[in-house]
Amino acid sequence: MMNKKFSISTILILAGVCLLLLFPVMSDDLYLITVFSIALIYAVYAASWDLLSGFTGKENFGHAAFIAIGAYMLGFISQHFAIPPYLSVPLAALLSFIFGILIGLPTLRLKGPYFALATLAVASIMEKLTYSFSDVTGGEDGLYGIEFLTGDEISSFYFVLIFAIIAIFVLYSIGKSNFGLTLKAIKSDDDAARALGINTDRFKVLAFGISAAFAGMAGTISGHYYSYVGPDIVYPLSLNIIIMCVVGGLGGIIPAALGGFALSFLSEMLRDFGDWNQLIYSGILMIIVIFLPRGVFNILGDFLKFRRKDSAGVSVKGERR
Amino acid sequence: MLQSLLINGTINSSIYALIALGFSLTFGVAGIVNLYHGAYFMVAAYLTFVFSNLGMPLWISAIFSLCLVMVLGAVIMKYPLLYLKKKGESIYLLIFTLGGAYFTQYLLKMIFGARFYSIPPFIDNSLKIGSEIVPGSRVFAFAVSIITILLVMLFIGKTSIGKKITATSQDVYAAELVGINTNMIFVVTSAISALLAGIAGVVISPYLSISPTMWLPTLIKAFAIVIFGGLGSLGGSIIAAFIMGYLETFIALTWTSSMTEVAFLVVVFIFLIFKPSGLMGKKTI
Amino acid sequence: MNILSVEKLLKQFGGLKAVNEVSFTVEKGEKLGILGPNGAGKTTLFNLITGFRKSDAGEVLFEGKSIMGFSPEKIANMGLVRTFQIVKPFKELSVYDNLKIATLSPKMKKEIKNENQRKSWIEKIADMSELTDVLNVNVELLPHGFLKKLEVAKALAVNPKLILLDEPFAGLTHQEIDPISRVISRANEVNGTTIILIEHRLKEFMKLVERVVAIDYGEKIAEGTPGEIINNPKVIESYLGKGGADLVNS
């Protein structure tokens, strides 16, 4: 009876990963390969948001700030000398981790709308500064001349794919670990967790740092991928990421990552519809929040599960008041 | 400089106060942080633009638009927001209202394009205060804001619906026990909030441009002012609006207008960290 | 030996003295009850002792060491653990995971070496708390009586030396109280855990505790064995009312 519950979903996900791995062998459609690469970066953005916000219930409305740290760090360095991904990615992880902790420390006690506004403010301040200090940041035009991820589209695709698999797997493992369980306890009731001796502040700040580190790494990879860093590919992400995670489903990393992958793929496919694209996108969001608030992939996952907990529920015979 | 600061700061502040008051009202009474608030501001401006271009007199267009925005505010509260509120997870309310605002933005962008529009001024004359010439539309915006704020305060303090609104904001459960239909109160409150944002949108459109992205900075400022003043405290919101309005005008006059929003956000961020309950907030977080 | 001594603890909210210079001591292994009408300051007293609120004056010594100004988590890690009047299960998780979270504190990380040990410890606590049958059930599906029991079990899973129970019987039927009462006694007898209990269910309360401290309007008004307390005129006046003693004895 054990382990049956995840088998079908796991097999489907593994099959999907295999399909992606084999895709360049089966098809030479470079356009689709590019679309997949970008969708994979979005999957990491969404998964990293989920670890902080989906697990602890603190909705980060300024995730783009962390992405910007990774992306602009790469942009600055590249103005002076070419930096290859194997150096820039770890550096981005470190820098974003520290930045995440610095933002996490003062804001971790804020709740609900206060936290939302504080994080929104951080990202907005960074965006405004990006425009104001255009001699350093390139302003609206952004920064060019960044070393490409690899020499060609196909190897870049594999680079992104392997990065995404590792990042999402690590985030998933963190979520499944005792650390992730503690974050869920904090989301449910901070005081109750403290009463059991858990230093909830430390967990929250650490979750901030880890979430920021992965967002920053993905931001750097996107900079290498486009060979460009600019406000248009960073700052609108805060909201898009929340939409992806809510549509996919919160608190499980994989559903959020799938939401990120699927929605950015969908949005690329809808690109021909021009303005309709974003209209449909925000319309879908509203409908999903009303009718499927647990998220598409969470619900799909439950549907594929053998529901173990119901069979155990029979033994509860206590009276309800 | 001081004269300019006082005049422009006061005009800007009164508009902020008007927008923040509506935002604060919905939060104080219904406990909902409505991120759609900035969209009411935008929709009212667009509707007035459309009706006046269809040949309606400007005044009639404005009043007609405001009625429609009130209906919009009532409908949004009655159906999706109360439904989501019952589910009890605030994130869905935040996301739904923010998604709705973006939906409105894209819809308007599709219909009108990313162009900037404006409407003719309600008053053509301008006013000379000291050595400063203030355009009539700005004076008008100031006067309407202040009168509206006073009327809303009177409405809440004196009328029976106003008293029901106060009772509901203090304790929903107790209000229901004494026979108040709180759902109806939420709907009325939302309509009033929408009206306040709508009035602000209409009075600024003669001198600021109408565009599909105008809702977001407005929303962020309203949100920031309300939290600065203390979530749910109407008086706190008004005071905070004036502090922020003067601060912003001061920075624009002495330094650069491109840094006003940064300064605004930095102040609010610092306040959030050190006094999250705001200037006059009763609720602890 | 005193495991806990509270000395002249004071907490004011505005002009109101919620806890007014209350002093008492608890011996190791004892079962102490705290009695008083609603609003007498009992829960505030718990909040002060466990660091959830800062007191204005006074001293709390745990095992002879001052714990004033310590954070709740630090106090819990010393082995002084509380429960809450309103149940606070960790939502959307199983009973097993709820108990597991209690074993993830620094204190338990020292006491539990590996995952096998953790598993057997959780199972032992579940067994002791009569929760083994529902170990894999999601807490959202549990009736109130089980959630109250889980509240006590979570505190026991921290392997506490002293446990403060805030109305563990509130809102329960007599049939539901019995098992929780058994769990508390068992923790005291088997593990030697010291118990401090706030409760309004007098009959069960008096049966469980060995000594009672009565407070009213934030002040200690009496102290003694259950038998002495129910006959104390001050306690009768402020709390039990006329015929209160009969109520307890019946």
Cα torsion at A220, A221, A225, A229 (round to 10°)? -20
How far off is chain C from A48, nearest CA to CA, in Å?
21
Under an 8 A CB cutoff, do A182 and C81 touch? no
- Residue-wise pLDDT for A217-250, tens only, equals 999 999 999 999 999 889 889 888 998 999 999 9
The answer on pLDDT for A177 being more than 90 is yes
Six token digits for residue C130: 């009569």
What pLDDT does C245 receive? 60
Residues of B in contact with A116 (CB under 8 A): 33, 94
How far off is chain B from A127, nearest CA to CA, in Å?
9
What pLDDT does B75 receive? 97
What pLDDT does B87 receive? 84
Strands C162-166 and C16-27: unpaired
Under an 8 A CB cutoff, do A289 and B90 touch? no
Residue range C36-56: mean pLDDT, rounded:
92
The answer on pLDDT for A293 being more than 80 is yes
Low-confidence ranges of chain B (pLDDT < 50): 283-285
Residue range A7-35: mean pLDDT, rounded:
91
Under an 8 A CB cutoff, do B262 and A290 touch? no
Distances (CA, A) of C239 to B126, B157, C230, C236: 74, 42, 10, 6
- What size, in residues, is chain A? 321
| Helix H or strand E encompassing A64 | helix A64-80
Size of interface A-C (CB pairs under 8 A): 115
CA distance B193 to B26: 7
Enumerate neighbours of C (3 or more CB pairs within 8 A): A
Q: Which pLDDT band holds residue A301 (cuts at 50, 70, 90)?
A: confident
Best mutation target among B33, B75, B83, B95 (most A Cβ atoms within 10 Å) is B95
- Residue-wise pLDDT for C218-238, tens only, equals 999 999 999 999 888 888 888
Interface check A311 vs C, CB under 8 A: no
What pLDDT does C84 receive? 95
What pLDDT does B256 receive? 80
| Helix H or strand E encompassing C21 | strand C16-27
- Residue-wise pLDDT for B195-228, tens only, equals 999 999 999 999 999 999 899 888 888 888 988 8
CA distance A51 to A251: 7
- Residue-wise pLDDT for A190-222, tens only, equals 999 999 999 999 999 999 999 999 999 999 999
CA distance C247 to C250: 5
φ/ψ (deg, to 5) at C53:
-135, 150
Six token digits for residue C103: 């074993």
Under an 8 A CB cutoff, do B276 and A110 touch? yes
Under an 8 A CB cutoff, do B94 and A279 touch? no
The answer on pLDDT for A120 being more than 60 is yes
What pLDDT does B164 receive? 94
Neighbours of C175 (CB within 10 A): 10
Interface check A320 vs C, CB under 8 A: yes
| Distant-in-sequence, close-in-space partners of B257: CB < 8 Å, separation ≥ 6 | B251
The answer on pLDDT for A317 being more than 60 is no
Six token digits for residue B14: 């009164």
CA distance C232 to C222: 8
Q: Which pLDDT band holds residue A114 (cuts at 50, 70, 90)?
A: confident
Q: What interface predicted TM-score (ipTM) does this complex get? A: 0.92
Nearest to A107 by CA among B228, B273, B226: B273
The answer on pLDDT for C108 being more than 60 is yes
3-state secondary structure string across B195-209: HHHHHHHHHHCCCCC
Neighbours of C35 (CB within 10 A): 28
Counting CB pairs under 8 A, whether chains A and C reach 3 or more, is: yes
**B4 close to B132: Cβ distance less than 8 angstroms:** yes
Residues of A in contact with C108 (CB under 8 A): 197
Per DSSP, the three-state class of A144 is: strand
Handedness of CA B136, B137, B139, B143 (dihedral sign): positive
In our burial notation (b when 16+ CB lie closer than 10 A, e otherwise), range A15-28 reads: eeeeebeebbeeee
Six token digits for residue B133: 């010439």
Counting CB pairs under 8 A, whether chains B and C reach 3 or more, is: no
Q: CA of A241: which chain B residue's CA is closest?
A: B95
CA distance B176 to B256: 51
Please provide the average confidence, as pLDDT, over all residues in chain C: 92
**C41 close to C218: Cβ distance less than 8 angstroms:** yes
**B169 close to B193: Cβ distance less than 8 angstroms:** no
Under an 8 A CB cutoff, do B272 and A286 touch? no
Quickly list H helices, chain B: 2-30, 37-53, 58-76, 82-87, 90-112, 136-158, 160-170, 172-177, 182-204, 215-229, 234-254, 260-274
| Distant-in-sequence, close-in-space partners of A59: CB < 8 Å, separation ≥ 6 | A53, A115, A116, A119, A242, B91, B94
**C99 close to C157: Cβ distance less than 8 angstroms:** yes
Best mutation target among C47, C73, C142 (most A Cβ atoms within 10 Å) is C73
Which residues numbered 2-21 in A keep a CB inside 8 Å of some CB on C? none
CA distance A8 to A17: 14
Residues of A in contact with B266 (CB under 8 A): 121, 125
Distances (CA, A) of A86 to A155, A218, C103: 15, 13, 39
Distances (CA, A) of A206 to A252, B79, C17, C23: 18, 39, 39, 40
Interface of B with A (CB under 8 A): 27, 33, 80, 83-84, 87, 89-92, 94-96, 98-100, 102-103, 106-107, 109-110, 220, 223-224, 227, 231, 258-259, 261-262, 265-266, 268-269, 272-273, 276, 285
Neighbours of A172 (CB within 10 A): 18
- A171 against C238, higher pLDDT: A171
Amino acid letter, residue C33: G
Distances (CA, A) of C167 to A21, C82, C153: 58, 11, 14
CA distance C99 to C92: 13
What pLDDT does A163 receive? 97
**C100 close to A178: Cβ distance less than 8 angstroms:** yes
